[in-house]
Chain A
Amino acid sequence: MFNLRLHEVSLGYGERTVLHDISLEAKPEEMLGIIGPNGSGKSTLIRGITRLISPNSGQILLDGHDVATMSRTDLARLVAVVPQNPVLPGLFTAFEVVLMGRTPHLGLLRHEGEKDLAIVRRAMEATQTVAFTDRRIGELSGGERQRLTIARALAQEPKILLLDEPTAHLDINYQMETLDLARELCREQGLIVVATLHDLNLAAQYCDRLVMLSDGRIYCHGTPEAVINARTIKEVYGAEVYVFRHPVNNLPATLIVSEKDRNKLRQKSV
């Protein structure tokens, strides 16, 4: 089975090491969530898997092949990224931007054929972006652009989909739709989906496994039930929260408590 494996990976920029000794594995049909506070190295991990930066030590393996020895094109055929804040050229149409997802399949000089256009069309149907096919990027909202970027990633026909804060600019409905789509892709297409998430509730609801990063190291990992509790969140995020079980599916749900009610929270947890 195709898999993504990180073996004692350290990643950083120049002298500064951001991630230390990360070992983890992601399998098809499984959604892996990366959580952790700001600056804990979530985005760096994604940049490492797509080889924007190279590991200082350790290996990142796709199906046993070291990413460091693969060509960029081969890598882009296997791994697609939905970046956090993508720059998209304002005058291009939505369709043209999704079409760019075919780049790794075309090489330098070939142009898109009927097959590529059909794949793009379907990626747009899956992300419900067909309605603005001919609209210019500059006219679209943040949420629409986000879905287009997902469509572009699907057009790459990857085996691994990396989502960097996929819900950052979305309202609650599109947050759910985006992650519903990610999970559907994961289950039905057998994609490996790795998502970095700020929202602990989304992480708990959608991910099969979570990796919690703290200061560039894996603090803990496992099922949402094992990872998300008041103690880990206090230790890693420094935030006092109230964690209970979601009444519908029994998954951990995190509630914030404002400053003035912290005393009540402490009494309750004791």
Chain B
Amino acid sequence: MPLELLKDATAPKAGTTYPLHWRGRLYAIVGLVLLLGVVVLVTSAIGSTDIPLSTLCQVLLAKLPLIDVKPTWAISVETIFFDIRLPRLLLAGLVGAALAVAGVTYQGLFRNPLADPYLIGVAQGAALGAVVGFLLPTSWQAASVPLLAFAGALLAVMVVYSIARVGKTLPMTTLILAGVALGAFLAAITSYLMIASGEKLHGIIFWLLGTFSLTSWWQVTMVIPYVLVGTIIIWLHARPLNVMQLDEEQAQQLGMNVEQIKLILLVAATLITAAAVCFCGIIGFVGIIIPHAVRLIWGPDHRFLLPLSTLAGASFLILADTAARTLLAPTEIPVGVITAFLGAPFFLYLLRQKKRAVF
């Protein structure tokens, strides 16, 4: 009589195992943290001047208090590491994490596996906003560029959402069509503005393709707060985001304030996308490759999907950026080219898999 069991539901049976798989997933998080550490260490050794890993470790140890390491390395090594490579690595990591988290969030909110900041036009909206900001007087730029990027991104996501929605659902086809069309439209305006403005925006073309080549510490310190705040807000909503995978009526009937949660998550994801775009341009496909890979391996529960994607996204973009600066050295390839090169085939693969309900 199964009902007998229901009555006394408050006393858990001792020794019953519950299939939440916390342990395996926690190991995965620890594993990806270690991976990120290794990636940072190894990639900072690679470059126009190779720094031996052993030297790198000594340089790092010397910075720690209470440890006395005699400097046996040239002062230039420290400069290269701390002023050039480390900020670049950190920015790439932050942006990779941001784009992956934004991708997971858009995919979860729209219940659509192909939502990615780049494919739904949000990144292009942010880029247009940022370019308009660059056209303003220099003294305003520090405030106006991020603000306008955010406004552009928010506007883009709202337009795409309202165009692509059919009744209560957001079908894959209309979302991608609306996103790609709006993205192309916004990119066209951006290109026009850049050409019309002449020399002032010449350098921006390289930025627009996505690059970390001009990174210094001030960009890192500018991006950190946006990404940190946005990511924390999204992580805190991981369980509600799970419930949102049901349709909105069921989520409401389970007691969720759906409209409020949608708004919070949309603003947070758009905020971190805008922050990423306005400092490093448009880097596509990170938001789609990483979440899908993580979902395939560790499942769709956002409580794990979000942190795992954050870590994997950071490692992935650091590696992609290392490829961008070393493959054709001394020429730099925009990192957006590398991610598109890897991401576009993956995207096509997902489109083909659609019949088998990837999501």
Stretch among B84-92, B254-262, B318-326 lining the A interface:
B254-262
Kindly state the separation between the CA atoms of A81 and B255 in the bound complex, as whole angstroms: 11
Question: Which residue of chain B is the closest to A72 with respect to CB atoms?
Answer: B255
Given contacts A77-B255, A121-B16, A125-B5, contact A92 B240 (CB under 8 A): no
Q: Does A220 contact B (CB under 8 A)?
A: no
B246 touches A100 (CB 8 A): yes
Q: Does B348 contact A (CB under 8 A)?
A: no
A72 touches B252 (CB 8 A): yes
Q: Does B71 contact A (CB under 8 A)?
A: no
Q: Does B191 contact A (CB under 8 A)?
A: no
Of A73, A89, A96, A97, chain B has the most CB atoms within 10 Å of the CB of A89
Which residues on A sit within 8 Å (CB–CB) of B19? 93, 95, 133-134
Kindly state the separation between the CA atoms of A138 and B299 in the bound complex, as whole angstroms: 13
Query: For residues 110 through 130 of chain A, which have their beta carbon under 8 Å from a beta carbon of chain B?
Result: 111-112, 114-115, 117-119, 121-123, 125-128
Kindly state the separation between the CA atoms of A160 and B243 in the bound complex, as whole angstroms: 21
A83 touches B250 (CB 8 A): yes
Question: Which residue of chain A is the closest to B236 with respect to CB atoms?
Answer: A109
Kindly state the separation between the CA atoms of A77 and B359 in the bound complex, as whole angstroms: 29
Q: Does B20 contact A (CB under 8 A)?
A: yes
Given contacts A95-B19, A123-B6, contact A76 B301 (CB under 8 A): no
B359 touches A91 (CB 8 A): yes
- Residue-wise, chain B 1-15 has the 8 Å CB interface mask toward A (1 for contact) of 011011101111100
Kindly state the separation between the CA atoms of A99 and B303 in the bound complex, as whole angstroms: 14
Give B144 Cβ to nearest chain A Cβ, in Å.
34
Of B245, B255, B301, chain A has the most CB atoms within 10 Å of the CB of B255
Give B225 Cβ to nearest chain A Cβ, in Å.
22
B252 touches A52 (CB 8 A): yes
Give B243 Cβ to nearest chain A Cβ, in Å.
5
Of B20, B245, B301, chain A has the most CB atoms within 10 Å of the CB of B245
A90 touches B250 (CB 8 A): no
Q: Does A259 contact B (CB under 8 A)?
A: no
Give me the interface of A with B, judged by CB distance under 8 Å. 47, 50-52, 72-77, 79-81, 83, 86-93, 95-97, 99-101, 103-104, 106, 108-109, 111-112, 114-115, 117-119, 121-123, 125-128, 133-134, 138, 154, 156-157, 184-185, 188-189
Known contacts A83-B249, A89-B111, A156-B254, then 8 further A-B pairs from the complex at CB < 8 Å, ordered by chain A residue: A73-B255, A76-B255, A77-B255, A92-B245, A92-B299, A108-B237, A111-B239, A157-B9
